[in-house]
Amino acid sequence: MSRNDKFPKRSLMGQIPLEEEFTGMNAFRSVFYRLLHSAARYLPMFPSWRVSIHRLRGVSIGKSVFIGSDVFIDNTFPDCIIIEDYVTIISRSFVIGHSFVPLHLERVLSRQGPSKQGVRLRKGCYIGAQSVILPGVTVGQCSVVGAGSVVTGDIADFSMAAGSPARVIKQFDPKDIRYDRLV
């Protein structure tokens, strides 16, 4: 067996299959949305401007949402991210709503192509700095994700989670939420 049989010619996408969504004119839309995403992440601006840019990209965002600087929100399928009202996402966090399986690992990982699972950040939740929210996760209403956490599963309403992987470390009473302070 020659080296070329083991390692076929590489494509522009490496080991990730190119999907229909990224061919033809859709490729130009993808580039435009990525430029918008870069602007929202890196340029100094008011947080409300970041929210507007992410909405333009297709992210579903409620009212009075705070998105800090250098927050990464899914580049490939921004439309699979739902951010409800009064959510706070602090700087350098990642919200990823999809995953790709490299072609050579399809059998190992028991699936192929992209998996568009989405993410839902429920009303009033707080995502601490440098946290990572992985595909398929729902962070519950008024829940807190501690800084640097990696959220791999759902976080219940009115709870605090931290760590890698994030685990619930505290539950709190909904009466402790100051809804009168939401603006």
**Cα–Cα distance measured from residue 80 to residue 138, given in angstroms and rounded to the nearest whole number:** 12
Neighbour-count burial of 57, counting CB atoms closer than 10 A to its CB (0-12 exposed, 13-18 middle, 19+ buried): buried
Q: Is 98 a catalytic residue?
A: yes
Nearest to 95 by CA among 87, 85, 103: 87
Among residues 37, 54, 98, 104, the one annotated as catalytic is: 98
**Cα–Cα distance measured from residue 138 to residue 92, given in angstroms and rounded to the nearest whole number:** 19
**Cα–Cα distance measured from residue 51 to residue 66, given in angstroms and rounded to the nearest whole number:** 7
C-beta neighbour count of 152 within 10 angstroms: 15
User: Which positions are annotated as active-site residues?
Assistant: 98
